[in-house]
Amino acid sequence: MKILPLVPAFLTTVAAVQPQGIIEIEWSSNCGYASKVTNPAIPAANPTVIETPKIASAQAGIPNPVATDAPVADSYPPISSAGSTTKNEQVPDPGVYSPHPSPSAPVYSQQEQKSELKTGTASVYGNVKSGEITYYSVGMGACGQNSSGQDETGSIVSISGDVYDAAMIDLNTNNNPLCGRTITMKGSNGKTAQGTILDRCEGCRGGDIDVSHKIFIEIYGSLDPGRSEIEWWYS
């Protein structure tokens, strides 16, 4: 056995001594090996575990909601129950965009609707109407007034059935709102005259009118033209 080489190594041995005894002897690396001797009376020390600090959860930073007494406004108006809505009531859908409503079609009264004539050449309450004018012998008119004998003295007008019938409000022709209404007539020569609607002209159409002798002469000077163009409007 080779003992001499071990002597220097033994001299460099470090012994750690505690009251409990020798707990560990470390041999120098020159010896070629190391050995540990443990006192059986001393329990083995547990290895120290270094705890990794825990990262706080992201949810920990979110504060809990705090209850307040302030009322919370709804995003949309409450929808009425089925029993409180009317038959034609519609509840708007807040999620659907509603474009601006287009203008509704104008609503006309029954009398205004009647003013549109079958021929389309005149209307009851239009501005200026045009047609032909002639004269006739006046008598019992559709408005219920007897004008017999007033050919040369009365300013009497008989309008076409198209215009007269369009203004009817019932089956009684005497109740026509055009009866007794004054119109102004302008002849093709530029002269004008006024007359009162008292009759309905069966053979006239659109803006055509029949007038008493008096009116025809006022415009044309005599009865010779017989028939001519005319414009007229309500006075």
Predicted local confidence at residue 139, as pLDDT = 97
Closest CA to 141 of 209, 181, 199: 199
Q: Which residues have a Cβ under 8 Å from the Cβ of 226 and sit 6 or more positions away? A: 134
Domains in the chain with CATH codes: 1-41 (no CATH), 114-234 (2.40.40.10)
Q: Are 123 and 207 a contacting pair, CB within 8 Å?
A: no
Q: Are 145 and 196 a contacting pair, CB within 8 Å?
A: no
pLDDT digit string, tens, across residues 2-17 = 555 555 555 455 444 4
Closest CA to 124 of 168, 185, 157, 180: 168
Please say if the pLDDT value at position 105 is more than 50: no
Give the separation between CA 94 and CA 76, rounded to whole angstroms: 7
Give the separation between CA 158 and CA 145, rounded to whole angstroms: 12
Q: Give the model's confidence band at 94: pLDDT under 50 very low, under 70 low, under 90 confident, else very high.
A: low
Predicted local confidence at residue 133, as pLDDT = 98
Structure token digits, residue 110 = 């029954």
CA distances from 162 to 117, 133, 202, 211, 227 (A): 6, 15, 9, 17, 19
pLDDT digit string, tens, across residues 221-232 = 999 999 999 999
| SS3 category, 213 | helix
Torsion angle (degrees, nearest 10) of CA 113, 114, 115, 121: 110
Please say if the pLDDT value at position 190 is more than 90: yes
Q: What is the DSSP letter of 189?
A: T
Q: Is pTM beyond 0.85 here?
A: no
Give the separation between CA 147 and CA 138, rounded to whole angstroms: 6
CA distances from 14 to 9, 20, 194, 197 (A): 10, 17, 148, 146
Give the separation between CA 212 and CA 194, rounded to whole angstroms: 11
Query: Would the CA dihedral through 195, 199, 203, 204 be positive or negative?
Result: positive
Please say if the pLDDT value at position 88 is more than 60: no
Paired strand residues for 219: none
Mean pLDDT of the region 123-135: 81
